[in-house]
């Protein structure tokens, strides 16, 4: 796909050099859509020349003179006269410029979605658990980015989109992200054991902690059973929990696990430990969302509209997690009521700034 994208970009530049009169109608292709700075700079240069005042025989000289005005010396060297002549010869048919432009923009959207996915993964992997809320702020920025990509594609002529925005002939199959890369079994055990010891703590966590946040299926089953029993105003102990989980499909807590939970129970720690469980889980899902987006972007079968739509759906779990984390932060009196203070430690390091991305100007 990268080689084909480069050919489409060069064909678009070549078409513009042969027929510069098409440039005003091609402003929907931004300079940032090109995969290399030299082609983007040349595209901007061509757009800034008023070819209405340039005779056709003087177009090469006008382009050379305009390139000489580019401030970056490295770009000027890349765009020497032989290079521009080679680009002019790279276009099979100058009349196909709009389609080459659509291909260039489509490739840029794939690259941008891949970059966004990698950025989500990097953010999730480098964040500490207590930085989960800050890490999830990247979700909003990524959503805005996807909206901008969608708008950029919709700015292309309808005829171009009709030719390129076709459904994939086969269903896209992606490798499932099943195993969790980030877990905190100790926090999961402490949360469930504390709730089993003092079930009256359940209202402090059920508004934001869900069974899917637990990586251990047995602990998830115990937590779900306790929330169900609490909603019914039923007694909660190892016997009633075991009875409730036996009615449900899926993992069943062993007698050994229930005994360990009963022995490990301590009052007043559910909220703090639960926040560790939530933070660990949401960072893992943020990583998974980025992994999914990156894999989607690497599928050339996905046309721009489908790619952006799939990428937005891949982010939905992280978006829901962001709301839950913020909900827990908005109610500290519930999140940490009657708990032991968290142990002091070194100040959490700040997350690194997002890496550079060649933006598509829309």
What confidence score (pLDDT) does residue 339 get?
42
CB 34 within 8 A of CB 361: no
Quick: pLDDT tens for 188-233: 999 999 999 999 999 999 999 999 999 999 999 999 999 999 999 9
Q: At what angle do helices 238-246 and 217-231 cross, to 10 degrees?
A: 100
What confidence score (pLDDT) does residue 349 get?
41
Residue of 328, 353, 351 lying closest to 276 (CA atoms): 328
Q: How many C-beta atoms lie closer than 10 Å to residue 298's C-beta?
A: 14
- Cα separation, 207 vs 244, in Å, equals 21
Quick: pLDDT tens for 319-349: 999 888 987 776 545 444 444 444 443 434 4
CB 154 within 8 A of CB 146: no
Average pLDDT score over residue span 110-121? 96
What confidence score (pLDDT) does residue 2 get?
82
pLDDT category at 137 given cuts 50, 70, 90 is very high
* CA pseudo-torsion sign 88, 91, 92, 93: negative
* CA pseudo-torsion sign 34, 39, 44, 48: negative
Q: Which parts of 17-143 are beta strand (E)? A: none
CB 59 within 8 A of CB 51: yes
**What number of residues does the chain have?**
362
CB 133 within 8 A of CB 286: no
- Cα separation, 11 vs 53, in Å, equals 24
- Residue 358, pLDDT > 50, answer no
Mean per-residue pLDDT over the chain, rounded: 88
The dihedral over CA atoms of 23, 163, 114, 6, expressed in degrees to the nearest 10, equals: -50
pLDDT category at 1 given cuts 50, 70, 90 is low
What confidence score (pLDDT) does residue 250 get?
86
CB 325 within 8 A of CB 209: no
- Cα separation, 27 vs 272, in Å, equals 54
Q: How many C-beta atoms lie closer than 10 Å to residue 57's C-beta?
A: 7
CB 240 within 8 A of CB 234: yes
Average pLDDT score over residue span 80-90? 94
Q: At what angle do helices 59-67 and 37-48 cross, to 10 degrees?
A: 120
CB 40 within 8 A of CB 118: no
pTM, to two decimals: 0.84
Buried b (16+ CB within 10 A) or exposed e, 66-87: bbeebeeeebeebbeeeebeeb
Distances from the Cα of 292 to the Cαs of 15, 215, 297, 322, in angstroms? 36, 19, 9, 18
Quick: pLDDT tens for 147-200: 999 999 999 999 999 999 998 776 776 666 667 888 999 999 999 999 999 999
Burial (Cβ within 10 Å: 0-12, 13-18, ≥19) of residue 53:
exposed
- Cα separation, 58 vs 100, in Å, equals 25
């Amino acid at each position: 796909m990268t080689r084909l994208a480069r050919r489409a970009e060069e064909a678009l530049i070549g078409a513009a050099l042969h027929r510069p009169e098409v440039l005003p109608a091609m402003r929907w292709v931004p300079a940032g859509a090109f995969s290399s700075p030299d082609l983007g700079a040349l595209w901007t240069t061509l757009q800034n020349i008023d070819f209405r005042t340039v005779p056709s025989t003087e177009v090469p000289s006008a382009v050379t003179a305009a390139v000489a005005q580019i401030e970056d010396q490295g770009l000027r060297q890349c765009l020497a006269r032989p290079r521009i002549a080679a680009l002019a010869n790279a276009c099979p048919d100058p009349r196909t410029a709009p389609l080459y432009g659509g291909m260039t923009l489509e490739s840029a959207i794939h690259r941008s979605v891949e970059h966004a996915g990698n950025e989500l993964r990097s953010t999730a992997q480098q964040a500490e658990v207590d930085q989960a809320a800050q890490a999830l702020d990247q979700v909003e920025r990524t959503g805005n980015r996807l909206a901008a990509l969608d708008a950029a594609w919709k700015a292309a002529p309808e005829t171009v989109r009709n030719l390129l925005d076709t459904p994939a002939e086969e269903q896209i199959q992606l490798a499932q992200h099943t195993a969790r890369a980030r877990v905190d079994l100790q926090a999961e055990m402490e949360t469930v054991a504390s709730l089993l010891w003092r079930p009256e703590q359940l209202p402090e966590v059920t508004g934001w902690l869900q069974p899917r946040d637990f990586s251990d299926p047995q602990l998830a089953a115990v937590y779900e059973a306790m929330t169900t029993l609490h909603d019914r105003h039923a007694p909660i102990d190892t016997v009633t929990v075991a009875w409730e989980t036996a009615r449900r499909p899926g993992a069943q807590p062993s007698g050994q696990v229930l005994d360990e939970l009963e022995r490990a129970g301590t009052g007043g720690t559910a909220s703090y430990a639960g926040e560790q469980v939530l933070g660990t889980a949401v960072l893992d899902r943020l990583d998974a969302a980025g992994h999914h987006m990156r894999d989607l972007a690497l599928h050339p079968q996905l046309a721009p509209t489908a790619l952006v739509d799939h990428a937005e759906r891949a982010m939905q779990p992280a978006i829901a997690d962001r709301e839950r984390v913020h909900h827990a932060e908005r109610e500290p009196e519930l999140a940490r009521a009657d708990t032991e203070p968290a142990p002091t430690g070194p100040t959490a390091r700040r997350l690194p700034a997002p890496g550079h991305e060649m933006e598509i100007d829309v």
